[in-house]
Structure 1
């Protein structure tokens, strides 16, 4: 069975601090690159979705250049729930 020593504790503390500063340095070095890649990927996905939405909603026919609107993907209007009757109150003097 081993006993804890003061030098072992100092060495462990040194490793923890060294790992912390090395990790901070690497994060500062690579974090902007990672963020740039994520933003570019999100932009590409947004552009693909936009192009798909435009392609599905509007179609041109080759015969007489008519524009056909695809209403299957269009948003349907939501009806509001009617809770009760509207009562107009008047102020009495």
Structure 2
């Protein structure tokens, strides 16, 4: 059975503190490089979408869409259904 010693506790705390500050220092050191890489990738995506004319990803070719535009819809939406009687309400003071 192992017993906890004061020196072992101090070593563990010092290792945790050193690792924390080491990671913090490395993050400060590499943060500009990481942000530069992210901004470069975002710029490439924006450039690609600008070249495509802001089309959605599932955009169809003009030839395929012309056949769909010329076809007649199955359901006619021009029919107006009677909704009911119109009632005009007046404000009461």
TM-score (norm 1): 0.59
Question: CA, structure 1 residues 91+46, in 2 after alignment: closer, same or farther (shift >3 Å)?
Answer: same
Match of 1:36 in 2: 36
Q: Residue 87 of structure 1: CA displacement? A: 5.2
1:40-59, aligned counterparts within 5 Å? 40-53=40-53
Q: Which consecutive unaligned segments of at least 5 residues does structure 1 have?
A: 56-69, 73-83
Please identify which structure carries the higher strand content. Answer: 1
Task: Give the 3-state SS of the residue equivalent to 2:15 in structure 1.
Answer: helix
Match of 1:67 in 2: none
Greater length-normalized contact order (CA 8 Å, ≥ 6 residues apart): 1
Q: Which consecutive unaligned segments of at least 5 residues does structure 2 have?
A: 56-61, 66-82
- Extract structure 1 runs of 4+ deviating beyond 2 A: 84-93
Question: What is the root-mean-square deviation in Å for CA atoms of aligned residues?
Answer: 2.8
Match of 2:20 in 1: 20
